[in-house]
Amino acid sequence: MVRPRDPAQDPAVVAALAQALGLPSDAEHLHTALTHPSYAHEHAVPHNQRLELLGDAVLGLCVAELLFERFPDEPEGTLTQMRAKLVNAEALHTIGLRAQIPAALRVSRGADALRSSQNVVADAVEALLAAAFLSRGWEGARAACRAWIEPALAELSPGGVLDPKSALQERLVGVGVPQYSVTEEGGPAHSRWFVVAVVVAEQILGSGRGRSKRLAERAAAQAALESPELESLLGVTR
C-alpha cells in the first residue's frame, strides 16, 4: 500500500522514533500514531485518536508501576499527585518536544500550527506508546515509556509535590480563583462525609468526597487537575 506522506513530515525523525520504540520504520501503527485527525480526513486514512485512548492506559500503568517501585514508603496520595504531574498534557508535551514529535506528525494542509499544539503533541505521545504496546507487547511499551518518563521523574521529588489545591491554584493563575462549596453532606455525627465542588469562572471543574470538608476539597481539586474541562478553560486546543 502506498502511504500518503505530509511533505512537512521529517522522515529522519520518524525513523528515530521508530528506533526509540523498537518498531520498524514502516510499521502501520507507528504512522497511524503520527496522524492527526485533520490529515486523516483529507486523505481517508486512520488517525491516532483510538491509539491515544489505549496509550493513555499504557502510560498510566507504566507511571504508576514506576512510582510504586521507586518510592516504596510514600503514601497513595503523594504517588497520585506525582503521577498527575508526570502524565498531564504539559508534561507529555515536554516529552514530545524532546523527541521531536512535531516534526514527525502528519497534519492537514495549512494547519502547521497544530504540530506544536500542547494537546496534539501530548496525544501523539500516548498514541506512540499504544503503537509500541500493540507491536511489542507490555514489555516493549514499558521500556519505551520509562525511557521517556525518566528525565521528568528525575526532576520530581515527593517533597516537591504541591498539594492538589495549591497545584490547581498555580495552574489557574490569570484565569480565576477556585471556589469550593459543599454540595452534599451526611452520615452520623461520628462518621460524617462531605462532597465538595470546585468552581472557576462559573464552571464546575471537579467534585470530591471526604470525611472532612478539607479532605473533600483536596479530592475536588485533584479531580479538577485531571479533568478535560480544566484544559478547555486554560485554552488548550487539540
| Other C-beta atoms lying within 10 Å of the C-beta of residue 212 | 11
Considering the entire predicted model, what is its pTM?
0.69
Cα maximum dimension of the chain: 69
> By mean pLDDT, which of 61-70, 138-147, 220-229 is the weakest?
220-229
Of 116, 137, 160, at which residue does a domain stop?
Answer: 160
Is 192 in the same domain as 98?
no
Average pLDDT over residues 135-160: 89
Is 107 in the same domain as 196?
no
Is 19 in the same domain as 109?
yes
pLDDT of 161 above 70: no
Is 88 in the same domain as 154?
yes
Average pLDDT over residues 101-107: 95
Based on the residue annotation, tell me whether 65 is a catalytic residue of this protein: no
Average pLDDT over residues 217-238: 82
> Which is higher by pLDDT, 55 or 231?
55
The residues near 153 (Cβ < 8 Å, ≥ 6 apart) are: 66, 67, 70, 86
Q: Of 56, 123, 217, 231, which one is the catalytic site residue?
A: 56
Based on the residue annotation, tell me whether 126 is a catalytic residue of this protein: yes
- pLDDT category, 237, cuts 50, 70, 90? very low
Of 160, 183, 200, at which residue does a domain stop?
Answer: 160
Q: Are 167 and 77 in contact (CB under 8 A)?
A: no
Confirm whether 2 is domain-assigned: no
pLDDT of 23 above 80: yes
The residues near 150 (Cβ < 8 Å, ≥ 6 apart) are: none
Confirm whether 1 is domain-assigned: no
Of 160, 179, 202, at which residue does a domain stop?
Answer: 160
Is 150 in the same domain as 219?
no
Q: How far apart are CA 94 and CA 121, in angstroms?
A: 9
Per-residue confidence (pLDDT) for residue 3, from 0 to 100: 59
pLDDT tens digits, one per residue of 71-88: 898 888 788 888 988 999
Is 16 in the same domain as 104?
yes
Is 156 in the same domain as 168?
no
Report the number of distinct structural domains present in the chain: 2
pLDDT tens digits, one per residue of 186-204: 988 878 899 999 999 899 9
Q: How far apart are CA 220 and CA 199, in angstroms?
A: 10
Q: Of 6, 52, 123, 126, which one is the catalytic site residue?
A: 126
Residue 29's CATH number? 1.10.1520.10
Per-residue confidence (pLDDT) for residue 166, from 0 to 100: 83
Domain of residue 75: give its range: 11-160
